Chains A and B, each alone.
Chain A
């Protein structure tokens, strides 16, 4: 044996495998993908007695058949990864269900150590497990552990280090035993199959396991005799899967037999605690109440309280931006160095993203609590009927919650969370509809437009918008299921309802941090990269030469005006040269930004002192003073800075208008005019593909006007749009489009990862665009034609969608059932 030990952790779902894995490896672990599939491969390591032990956490599986991806992945690793030891994690409170997998692992011929987890739960349930007898029956070491409390880790590590290939218990297959023996002997004769357990392969061949047959075909030159033998023997037990059933029954029988000899139930006949809780939580009438209360609590705690928390964290990010603006090369009077603009642009993009981190931490922690406690499975139980009606799955709930059912979430973790849905068609439908949810980045645009056009009916409008996306997602899921996804595989809904557990703090925090970090990493890299691309598209080819000359002329006039105003003023000496003037302007801007970020009188005073120490000459221009000369100087500076701001804004607008993205936006006007989107909105929408947050930022730039910084964007956009004939109806069309808008780039990339297909990725962009544009155009055109107001139109659209939803949901199942199930089978 080498000095490196590879240990595979195998066990059924809900056996506490992950907890045990964390307990064994501590913090040194990393997540990768198994080659070619989206199943996570978690591995970690620890050192025991100077030997490095590498632990691989296999996906949870009930059995080792070829029927599910997880089981195939686990099995392939056991066969090809050649672990030195398999640690089989068993739920001590439910041995009967766990043992069949143990038998299969034993049959594979690797040294096995059984970790009997959840001993505390078994104790509470009144189960007394006779460990020596269990060890004797299985012929392998059995270590009792409590993963949640970290009890038994050392013993388990010692057992792992001491695990030797032994002769484990062999399962007697009863009537099948003779056939198994015959195939086993035939397999053992093949030199090419020496490296694997002959008995295991023999049983698999009798079970008619497709991968076992494939393995024979790969390894042997002539696999026919063996395959024929297996086929003949299998036939002897009857048609279909009779032999496989016998195998399963034999395992179940033995498991039952072992449980009767090793486990004494002192509380037999008592109702388990989980069931007693479920009598309330899953009560027919109370269940929906609890569910709504849970979702409301999640929303309150993560979104509402999280936003409160961002007020604390935002100054940190703003401080970071100010720091960056100091480190980067100084701004010019009219033109900034490219490095500076690009650097600040990237910091801004990253900041909008990082601003959500507190919200995500809370949200992910709460969701980890839901998962670990076992309530998530109950949510699937309660909602499956509704979701199933629209082609989704009970387990689609988690992705929808993550993506922001009501308001605020992110589609990226939402799409990631679809991994657990076993039904392929429902999973695809979920992936493609999760982006319709109102992620946090959609909210600013809604708020902006609602504040401009619907200041009196804010609440109702927000309610419409946050629920219409759910309606749209359900309708689209149904549409996709009966059209493009028609031929995808589906799966039955059969799952275990885990016992309730009290989640551990470390477990919850670890999951919350892991997921948040993944979000920062995946989204961060993409968004920053795309920010650069958008920057280039907005920046080039730049302002035409004659306009540039014009701006320069205006700037020079303004500077001359500044010096005129200062003539005779004793402070003129501080800005003798143009270079000094640029320094002054920059120092002033930096001071204003920091002053905005400084909370409280003391902080402001400290800032003033710092400024005075750093730029003593500029003090009269910048800091408040009563001296008439200083006030005149400050006034002159303010006028100059205002003119400069205006000039720079006009230039920026010019630049965007003549930029590549601006051209595209104009080019799209013929298509988008039916929805009443002009080129400015087109540009904002295009830019928001990178990250939705930027839609408002871009609009901010485009609707900037000369009247200084004091007028909020709402007003500026309002006046500008009113003068161009925009109405509340246009706003409704725009908001509806934004609700159905294609997923942002980070989500699209996640869609590609989760579906493993570029085709679906492209579909996830094209379909919502067409749908959104169609709905927006239809709304605007019909609304205009009927002369409706914005609110009336929105109400109409909302109830139209709701009616459609009910139309799809209500009558369908009866139709389905009568067609699908013959009359005599109906209750």
Chain B
């Protein structure tokens, strides 16, 4: 079965597989159309409320699994030494994610 098993693995876009360049996939598509204030633009030390999650599929699921649901409060703790990724706090959970993914989380200030 070759590397077929991996066809499902990870957080790719699923069946659209071969043709798209996934590395850039997130920033195109639905999110580009609705630029709001995202976690990517939030300075460390700021607490804000999640208004909605952009993107779809695995990334969305993973963010929700870690507690990033709409209406929950999230604090940006710090950036990595080279500015990317960033660290967040949601409830008692500390999460690290790249800015590319942080740009998918739309927030409003509280």
Q: Which residues of A contact B (CB under 8 A)?
A: 36-37, 62-63, 65-69, 72, 93-94, 96-97, 100, 125, 240-241, 245, 248-249, 252, 272, 274-275, 278, 282, 284-285, 287-288, 377, 380-382, 384-386, 388, 394, 422-425, 486-497, 499, 755-757, 759-760, 816, 819-822, 824-825, 827
Contact = CB atoms under 8 A, between A and B. Distances in A.
Contacts of B38: 825
Task: Give the interface SS of chain B, mostly helix, strand, loop or mixed.
Answer: mixed
Interface string B73-102: 000011111111101010111111110110
Given A63-B65, A248-B64, A384-B84, A97 B23 contact: no
A36 B1 contact: yes
A493 B101 contact: yes
Contacts of A488: 6
29 contacts: A62-B65, A67-B11, A68-B9, A94-B91, A96-B67, A275-B89, A278-B77, A278-B78, A282-B78, A282-B80, A284-B81, A377-B96, A381-B85, A381-B87, A385-B85, A423-B11, A425-B22, A491-B10, A491-B12, A492-B58, A492-B98, A493-B101, A496-B94, A760-B3, A820-B27, A821-B103, A825-B31, A825-B38, A825-B103
Contacts of A282: 78, 80, 87
Contacts of B57: 67, 241
B23 to A, nearest CB: 5
A496 B66 contact: yes
Contact of B28 (A93, A100, A490, A820): A820
Contacts of A65: 61
7 shortest interchain CB distances as A-B pairs: A489-B12, A491-B11, A62-B65, A385-B82, A497-B94, A67-B58, A491-B10
A388 B82 CA distance: 12
A94 B93 contact: yes
A36 B1 CA distance: 9
A734 to B, nearest CB: 35
A36 B3 contact: no
Given A62-B66, A96-B67, A252-B69, A381 B96 contact: yes
A47 to B, nearest CB: 36
A495 B27 contact: no
Interface of B: 1-3, 5-13, 17-18, 21-24, 26-28, 31-32, 35, 38, 40-41, 56-67, 69-70, 72, 77-85, 87, 89, 91-98, 100-101, 103
Contacts of B10: 68-69, 422-424, 489-491
Contact of A494 (B1, B8, B95): B95
A492 B85 contact: no
Contacts of A424: 6, 9-10, 12
Nearest to B95: A496
Contact of A827 (B12, B41, B64, B98): B41
From B10, B63, B98, B100, residue with most partner A Cβ within 10 Å: B10
B59 A497 contact: no
A97 B91 contact: yes
Contact of A388 (B13, B78, B83, B98): B98
A827 B85 contact: no
